[in-house]
């Protein structure tokens, strides 16, 4: 049965493919002339995937951030596709396709550096209806979500209304089941369904709401906001690798400072960095100033297109906890260098219980810390050698932040600035020349990936 009704958009129609009285049964259709999304703004690779699915007889929609960002006149980070084709069907259609994920099985269609994510419509999880393909744990967390369904169910199991808009390649209309268009217009982030249940199903949604609020400049709707502080501790059950991925999105996306402040406001930051939160709560040090400046710096660098590394961020967040631990060890008689080394190891492993930190980040982070001791002790022949240390630049930037925050004398930073000016070639000379890397063949077996849902 198809129902037609007038909606907010002048020529919009409400359609239903079900004859039930289910509240989910009507979608608003916004035809092409009534919305601004144009094919020229969609990645050609995403269009290729959409067309091939459609020509093979499947439904094919762009969904999520791609639709949301284009409606807001922003450039999408990536293009996600939803279809009724099963992952194995998608693999048959695309040679350049790999299937990933166990908890949430997906197809990735790979075009060089661009990956188009193709997800099969999922059914809504009904309370108490666990099966082998769809399971929740005792806390209500959805630990497996592989029951396929139709577009309508798929819309309602998404997180926010503004993320549940579908761009249909069959007629270029937008399909809206959850009132996402109105929320886009109002600048509102609203969880679909009962917020308590939805956060329990996946506590990472609490981090996502903050990330989208700062990125889009949207307000958080009252019912969506209410449970956050109360349910924040549920993030303790999220695997450390997934929290690391979310941390990167929060702090390496250009809005680190805003995210930091909002996460703290909602009691979420301490779930990610418990030791940092403890140190921040203590007013009698320069740590808050240091972290704030570090965030600002990171955002500025990203805005200027300069490289940033999570190692620097981690070094910043964990600096005060490391210093406090080192001071304790020194008080027990350890030499300052040894104390800092031991403290670094301890803090890194304690943080890893909450959030995993790959070695390629934890090693440079440790070096940034250790170099602080040497930078504070300037002068002599060792100073010249310092300039060629591969981590000198990061450690020097870190030192400058500490000086700005009032933790070390400004003169120490200035000394190193001048020293580099006086010894210009040292830094350049000794950096390792770019050597062509041998290409190693990748094993084709896809590693199970942590997907953001
Ligand atoms: P961006 O890519 O700009 O960070 P996005 O909205 O596209 O934002 P993704 O993480 O790429 O976010 O996810 C794509 C879509 O998948 C989302 O828009 C949302 O519809 C759905 N989704 C992602 N994570 C979750 C989740 N944890 N719970 C429910 N739905 C989710
Ligand atoms: Mg996306």
pLDDT digits (tens, 9 = 90+) for 205-239: 999 999 999 999 999 999 999 999 999 999 999 99
Q: Which of 80, 145, 176, 202 does the annotation list as catalytic?
A: 80
| The pLDDT of residue 302 | 95
Number of Cβ atoms within 10 Å of the Cβ of 43 = 16
Taking each helix axis from N to C terminus, what angle separates 392-404 and 410-422, rounded to the nearest 10 degrees?
150
Average pLDDT over residues 280-300: 90
Res. 23 pLDDT band, cuts 50 70 90: very low
Asked if 326 and 341 count as a contact pair (C-beta separation under 8 A), the reply is no
Helix, strand, coil shares of the chain, percent, nearest 5, are 50, 10, 35
**Does residue 29 register a pLDDT over 90?**
yes
| The pLDDT of residue 92 | 96
**Does residue 120 register a pLDDT over 90?**
yes
| The pLDDT of residue 449 | 39
User: Counting atoms of ligand 1 from 1, which one is nearest the CA of 78?
Assistant: 2
Query: Quick one: which ligand is closest to 163's CA?
Result: 1
Among protein residues, the one whose CA lies closest to atom 17 of ligand 1: 64
DSSP one-letter code for 103: S
Q: In whole angstroms, what separates CA 86 from the centre of its chain?
A: 26
pLDDT in tens, 45-56: 999 999 999 999
| The pLDDT of residue 102 | 82
Give the position of tokens 């419509």.
Answer: 121
Among protein residues, the one whose CA lies closest to atom 26 of ligand 1: 453
- Report whether residue 64 contacts ligand 1, using a CB cutoff of 6 Å: yes
| The pLDDT of residue 295 | 95
Alpha helices (H) in 39-117, listed in sequence order: 44-55, 65-71, 87-93
The residue among 31 and 132 whose pLDDT is bigger is 31
Give the position of tokens 């009904």.
Answer: 126
Give dist(CA 66, CA 166) in Å, integer: 9
- Among 14-28, 130-144, 149-163, the range of highest mean pLDDT: 149-163
| The pLDDT of residue 199 | 97
What tokens does 7 get? 């909606």
Average pLDDT over residues 336-359: 96
**Does residue 76 register a pLDDT over 90?**
yes
Q: Is 143 exposed, middle or buried (0-12, 13-18, 19+ CB in 10 A)?
A: middle
Average pLDDT over residues 122-128: 77
Under 8 Å CB-to-CB from 32, ≥6 apart: which residues? 171, 172, 173
pLDDT in tens, 309-319: 999 999 999 99
- Of 341, 357, 349, 392, nearest to 371 (Cα)? 392
The residue among 368 and 427 whose pLDDT is bigger is 368
Average pLDDT over residues 299-309: 94
Instruction: State yes or no: is 78 an active-site residue.
Output: yes
Pairing of strands 27-30, 173-176: antiparallel
Q: What percent of the chain has pLDDT over 90?
A: 74
What tokens does 9 get? 């958009």
- Of 15, 28, 23, 50, nearest to 184 (Cα)? 28
Res. 25 pLDDT band, cuts 50 70 90: low
C-alpha distances out from residue 146 to 121, 154, 204, 245, Å: 9, 11, 18, 22
350 alpha carbon – ligand 1 mean position (Å):
30
- Report whether residue 204 contacts ligand 1, using a CB cutoff of 6 Å: yes
Instruction: State yes or no: is 159 an active-site residue.
Output: yes
| The pLDDT of residue 12 | 46
| The pLDDT of residue 284 | 72
**Does residue 361 register a pLDDT over 50?**
yes
The residue among 127 and 267 whose pLDDT is bigger is 267
Mean pLDDT score across all residues of the chain: 87
| The pLDDT of residue 434 | 47
Res. 440 pLDDT band, cuts 50 70 90: low
| The pLDDT of residue 20 | 34
Q: Which residues surround ligand 2, an ion (CB under 5 A)?
A: 65, 78
The residue among 284 and 276 whose pLDDT is bigger is 276
Average pLDDT over residues 346-371: 95
DSSP 237-294: GS-HHHHHHHHHHHHSSS-HHHHHHHHHHTT-HHHH-HHHHHHHH--SSSHHHHHHHH
Under 8 Å CB-to-CB from 294, ≥6 apart: which residues? 312, 313, 316, 401
272 alpha carbon – ligand 2 mean position (Å):
22
Give dist(CA 105, CA 449) in Å, integer: 10
Give dist(CA 423, CA 430) in Å, integer: 12
Among protein residues, the one whose CA lies closest to atom 14 of ligand 1: 64
Instruction: State which H helix or E strand residue 30 sits in.
Output: strand 27-30
| The pLDDT of residue 421 | 87
211 alpha carbon – ligand 2 mean position (Å):
13
Q: Which of 84, 154, 159, 299 does the annotation list as catalytic?
A: 159
- Of 99, 102, 83, nearest to 91 (Cα)? 99
pLDDT in tens, 139-195: 778 777 778 999 999 999 999 999 999 999 999 999 999 999 999 999 999 999 999
pTM: 0.86
C-alpha distances out from residue 293 to 151, 166, 256, 299, Å: 45, 40, 11, 10
Q: What percent of the chain has pLDDT over 70?
A: 87
**Does residue 13 register a pLDDT over 90?**
no
pLDDT in tens, 86-101: 999 999 999 999 999 8
Among protein residues, the one whose CA lies closest to atom 15 of ligand 1: 64
Asked if 214 and 253 count as a contact pair (C-beta separation under 8 A), the reply is no
pLDDT in tens, 383-397: 888 888 889 999 999
| The pLDDT of residue 382 | 80
189 bridge partner residues: 220
Instruction: State which H helix or E strand residue 295 sits in.
Output: helix 287-303
Average pLDDT over residues 326-353: 97
**Does residue 450 register a pLDDT over 80?**
no
Under 8 Å CB-to-CB from 350, ≥6 apart: which residues? 275
| The pLDDT of residue 146 | 76
What tokens does 300 get? 């500025």
Average pLDDT over residues 363-379: 91
- Report whether residue 452 contacts ligand 1, using a CB cutoff of 6 Å: yes
Domains and CATH numbers, the chain: 13-238 (3.30.460.10), 263-424 (1.10.3090.10)
């Amino acid at each position: 049965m198809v129902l037609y009704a007038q909606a907010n958009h002048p020529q919009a129609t409400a359609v239903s493919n079900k004859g039930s009285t289910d509240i989910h049964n009507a979608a608003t259709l916004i035809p092409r002339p009534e919305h601004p999304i144009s094919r020229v703004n969609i990645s050609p690779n995403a269009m290729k995937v959409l067309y091939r699915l459609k020509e093979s007889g499947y439904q094919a929609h762009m969904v999520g951030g791609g639709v949301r960002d284009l409606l807001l006149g922003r450039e999408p980070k990536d293009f996600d596709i939803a279809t009724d084709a099963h992952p194995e069907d998608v693999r048959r259609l695309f040679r350049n396709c790999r299937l990933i994920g166990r908890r949430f099985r997906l197809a990735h269609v790979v075009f060089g550096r661009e990956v188009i994510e193709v997800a099969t419509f999922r059914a809504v999880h009904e309370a108490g209806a666990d099966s082998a393909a769809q399971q929740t744990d005792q806390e209500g967390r959805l630990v497996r979500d592989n029951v396929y369904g139709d577009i309508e169910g798929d819309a309602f199991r998404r997180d926010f209304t503004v993320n549940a808009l579908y761009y249909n390649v069959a007629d270029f209309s937008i399909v809206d089941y959850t009132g996402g268009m109105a929320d886009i217009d109002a600048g509102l982030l609203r969880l679909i369904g009962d917020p308590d249940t939805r956060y329990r199903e996946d506590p990472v949604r609490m981090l996502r709401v903050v990330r989208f609020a700062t990125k889009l400049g949207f307000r958080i709707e009252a019912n969506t906001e209410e449970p956050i502080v109360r349910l924040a501790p549920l993030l303790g059950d999220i695997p450390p690798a997934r929290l690391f991925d979310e941390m990167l999105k929060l702090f390496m996306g250009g809005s680190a400072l805003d995210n930091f402040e909002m996460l703290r406001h909602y009691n979420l930051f301490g779930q990610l960095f418990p030791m940092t939160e403890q140190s921040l709560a203590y007013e009698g040090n320069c740590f808050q100033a240091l972290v704030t400046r570090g965030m600002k710096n990171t955002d500025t660098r990203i805005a200027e297109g300069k490289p940033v590394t999570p190692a620097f961020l981690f070094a910043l967040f964990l600096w005060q906890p490391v210093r406090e631990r080192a001071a304790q060890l020194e008080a027990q008689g350890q030499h300052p260098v040894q104390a800092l080394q031991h403290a670094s190891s301890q803090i890194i492993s304690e943080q890893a219980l909450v959030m995993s930190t790959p070695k390629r980040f934890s090693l440079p982070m440790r070096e940034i810390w250790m170099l602080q001791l040497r930078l504070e002790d300037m002068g002599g022949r060792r100073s010249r050698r310092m300039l060629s240390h591969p981590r000198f630049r990061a450690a020097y930037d870190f030192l400058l932040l500490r000086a700005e925050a009032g933790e070390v004398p400004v003169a120490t930073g200035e000394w190193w600035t001048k020293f580099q000016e006086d010894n210009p070639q040292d830094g350049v000379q000794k950096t390792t020349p770019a050597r062509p890397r041998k290409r190693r063949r990748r094993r084709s077996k896809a590693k199970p990936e942590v997907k953001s849902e």
